[in-house]
Amino acid sequence: NAGVTQTPKFQVLKTGQSMTLQCAQDMNHNSMYWYRQDPGMGLRLIYYSASEGTTDKGEVPNGYNVSRLNKREFSLRLESAAPSQTSVYFCASSEMARGLNEKLFFGSGTQLSVL
Amino acid sequence: KNEVEQSPQNLTAQEGEFITINCSYSVGISALHWLQQHPGGGIVSLFMLSSGKKKHGRLIATINIQEKHSSLHITASHPRDSAVYICAANIRSGGSNYKLTFGKGTLLTVNP
């Protein structure tokens, strides 16, 4: 039981390059999330998916796109990377029940640098 | 102003000390999470509370809904407890919708 698997762990991009961060969970959770974590700031929600086939913007969606490919997988794409997107990215999942976030499970994070 | 405030930002303790980290929020919530993040590591969920108190080993989390305040306590602290502790509140964002809002974290260092 791997939990939430996130790849890659590290990535360096040049401004304007594109890339996709992959995330998969094996806990049959409905809800999946992408966050970014920057120094001095709390985790901020980029996009989330409440169920397969649905996605919604979070606090900081600009410059990102997501795909909920199936119940297991939720990918985050940077179409044209910018230095402001240098950050640590976390994928998470939870079994949303009764409007509450149940226990959250996080991936190990991706450290992304955009030069 | 962040809707979720943590204090202190940094905390240094000696091994064996009793630790308290505080979290306050400004609006109604449905639940509050405490998370732990080790340096260079991933994030682990410690507790989810909607009322009262929960205990797991040396960790105790309490919440006072009326005062909009939660605390995380660590008894008999150990160097391996050194980590960033994050609280996250499930805040009503309109109608029956909620959004998870994170505090900025408390960096705890426990010296041997």
- Closest-approach residue (CA) in chain A for B103: A42
CB pairs under 8 A between A and B: 56
pLDDT (average), residues A63-78: 96
pLDDT (average), residues A27-53: 90
Task: Report the alpha-carbon angle A89-B40-A66, nearest 5.
Answer: 10
Cβ atoms B71, B21 nearer than 8 A: yes
Tally of CB atoms within 10 A around A84 = 11
Question: At CB < 8 Å, which residues of chain A contact B?
Answer: 40-45, 58, 90, 92, 99-109
- Residue (of A91, A96, A45, A98) closest to A68 by Cα position: A91
Nearest beta carbon to residue B90 from set A100, A107, A108: A100
User: Which residues of chain A are within 8 Å of residue B101 when distances are taken between CB atoms?
Assistant: 42
Helices (H) and strands (E) in chain B, counts: 0, 11
What CA–CA distances, in Å, run from A54 to A28, A69, A72?
A: 16, 10, 13
Beta strands B59-64 and B83-94, pairing class: unpaired
Q: What's the pLDDT score for residue A96? A: 64
What DSSP designation does B80 have? G
Beta strands A110-114 and A10-13, pairing class: parallel
Nearest beta carbon to residue A104 from set B2, B45, B99: B45
Report the residue of B84, B102, B106, B107 to disrupt the A interface, i.e. the one with the largest count of A CBs within 10 Å: B102
Q: Give the HSE-up count for residue A15: Cα atoms under 13 Å, Cβ half-sphere.
A: 4
Measured in degrees and rounded to the nearest 5, phi and psi for residue B79 equal -50, -30
Tell me: the pLDDT tens digits for B17-60?
999 999 999 888 888 999 999 887 789 999 998 899 999 999 99
What DSSP designation does A86 have? -
Q: What's the pLDDT score for residue A78? A: 96
